Amino acid sequence: MVEKLTAALAAVKDPEIDSISIVELGMVENIQFVDGEAIVKLLPTFIGCPALDIIRQRVEQVLSDLEGVEQVTVEFIHHPPWTSDRITEQGREKLKQFGIAPPPKQTGPNGEWQVECPYCQSSYTLMENIFGPTACRSIFYCKQCKNPFEALKPISIWM
Amino acid sequence: MIVTKLEELHQLPEYKEALVELLFQLADDDFIIAYRGSEWLGLAPHIEEDVAFSSITQDTMGHAAMYYQLLEDIGMGRADDLAHGRGANERRNAILLEEVNGPGHYLYEPQYDWAFAVVRNYFYTQAKKVRIDSLKNCSYEPLAQVAVKVNMELYYHLMHWRTWFVQLVNAGGEARERMRKAVEKVFDDFAGVLSLGEKGEKMVECGLIDSEEVLKARWLQAVKPVFEQTNLELPSEFHMKRGNGRNGEHTADLIEALATLSEVYRMDPLAIW
Ligand SMILES: [Zn+2]
């Protein structure tokens, strides 16, 4: 049953980046099924993310449609903390398709990060604004293909 | 001693009392500085800053909401009511954080002071960083876990305000002069940000957070290189010229802010948002 639930969660997309699922984002920490009740523990990417309520509703919707599920409980927990390295390889690919650079796997000792342009793969890019249209994104500019683009902020435990 | 579960917490009345006090300080600080930040929307020096500042404000409001949620979990009432329904004398935020952004009103003729905004936010964010680092070892496990998460977001906030601070002070001329004045003004009330209030010693005894002295020393250590880099004098003593918000002392600025921000809430306190 848990496998079935997991598969269903792959259909729940991030309301702000609708090509990527919450599973690919690494937000799903735990799924349990007890006596008809599906209990899903999710890790918020950012604490104040306004999309969390929508995600909760979508999870409830998708799981309660499954046969045998009588009740759905969605819980947001903070431990372990969500970090950007939880995004799966597939998730990173989908971000690129959406025109968003995946978060760098490594950042320098001074916090600087190398980001590849999702359009032309050039690393000749410039950060325009560390803060973007949503809590988790930053704004970059590619000097190679001259496109502005967004990148997911690295979020890591050493910070 | 580590407290993990609510049942354990309810067995420890003195511990719980200190924890509740600390959570209100953390929540009310973030809540009111985020409110002041939201008043800057559309008024920041340029469009990139508008995006950045509002993003920081959104994160900060999220942190406040989470502390109110921890209070709700403990049985202190609904998070929404705690955020919007408490009067000024019940608030535990530092007085520095409730001060208006400048003369005027955000709807008509705001003459907000960007130098004050930068200095207040930089100093506060650095103090928050010091506190959060200490809270990672908090004896109340739910708070320690939340601190790890807040810390990651705080990293970007701190970098942002530090950059503004250094650039404006080092710009010289009018910028430096206005920044210098803002620094002086902020230090007049900054002791209130580092204060843990009347129950501070109890908090330390309970292993909730490090002492005021330790926090202050760490704050000074963190800003020292920035002061050297900008050739500013770092005082060893700060003040609380208008009283200690941790003990419920506040100014008319807070009363007015609460009246404004809770206007919609008060129309129907039971509404679900
Ligand atoms: Zn490019």
Instruction: Sketch the domain layout of chain A as residue ranges.
Output: 2-76, 89-152
Query: What would the CATH number be for the domain defined by A2-76?
Result: 3.30.300.130
Q: What is the pLDDT of residue A113?
A: 78
- Inter-chain CB proximity B152 and A131 less than 8 Å: no
How far the first Cα of chain B sits from its last, in Å, is 38
Hey, is the C-beta of B155 within 8 angstroms of any chain A C-beta? yes
* Count of CA atoms in the C-beta half-sphere (13 A) of B52: 20
Taking the CA of residue A159 and the nearest CA in chain B, the distance in Å comes to 5
Say if B148 is an interface residue toward chain A (CB within 8 Å).
yes
Give the model confidence (pLDDT) of B176-206 as tens digits: 999 999 999 999 999 999 999 999 999 999 9
Give just the sign of the alpha carbon dihedral A152, A153, A154, A155.
negative
The number of residues in chain B equals 273
Q: What is the CATH number of the domain that holds B54?
A: 1.20.1260.10
A56, containing H or E segment: helix A52-64
pLDDT beneath 50: ranges in chain A? none
DSSP H stretches of helix in chain B: 6-10, 13-38, 47-74, 79-84, 95-98, 114-135, 141-170, 173-194, 200-205, 212-229, 252-261, 263-267
Residue B273 lies in a domain: no
CA-to-CA distance for A3 and A9, rounded, in angstroms?
Answer: 10
Q: Which residues of A touch B (CB under 8 A)?
A: 46-50, 78-79, 81-83, 111, 128-135, 139, 153, 155-157, 159
- Domain presence at residue B65: yes
| B47 lies within 8 A of chain A by CB | no
Ranges under pLDDT 50 in chain B: none
Query: In 3-state terms, what secondary structure has residue B89?
Result: helix
Write down the pLDDT at residue B174. Answer: 96
Residues B149 and B25: their CA atoms lie apart, in Å, by 18
Domain count, chain B: 1
Residue A19, pLDDT score: 86
User: How would you label B173-198 residue by residue, b for 16+ Cβ within 10 Å and e otherwise?
Assistant: eeebebbbebbebbbebbbbbbbbbe
Pairwise CB contact (< 8 Å): B152 & A130 = no
Residue A110, token pair as written in the block:
């001074």
Distance of CA B24 to the CA centre of its chain: 11
Q: Give the ranges where B136-199 is alpha helix by DSSP (H).
A: 141-170, 173-194
What pLDDT sits at residue B161? 97
pLDDT at A139: 93
Q: Is the pTM of this model over 0.95?
A: no
Residue B209 CA to residue A87 CA, distance in Å, equals 33
Q: Are the Cβ atoms of A130 and B156 closer than 8 angstroms?
A: yes
Which letter, b or e, does each residue of A105-137 get, where b requires 16 or more Cβ atoms within 10 Å of its Cβ? eeeeeeeebebbbbeeeeeebeeebbbbebbbb
ipTM over 0.90: no
Query: Domain residues for B166?
Result: 5-267
Across the interface, whether the CB atoms of B58 and A135 are under 8 A apart is answered yes
* CA dist., res. A104 & res. B1, Å (int): 39
User: Residue A108: what pLDDT?
Assistant: 61
**How far is it, in rounded angstroms, from Cα A20 to Cα A14?**
6
For residue range B53-70, list pLDDT tens digits in order: 999 999 999 999 999 999
**Chain A residue with the nearest C-alpha to that of B64:** A48
Q: What's the pLDDT score for residue B108?
A: 79
pLDDT of residue B273: 53
Nearest to A158 by CA among A99, A103, A84: A84
Q: Which of residues 56-75 of B touch A (CB under 8 A)?
A: 56, 58-63, 65-66
Is B55 in contact with A46 (Cβ distance < 8 A)?
no
Give the distance from CA B232 to its chain's centroid.
24
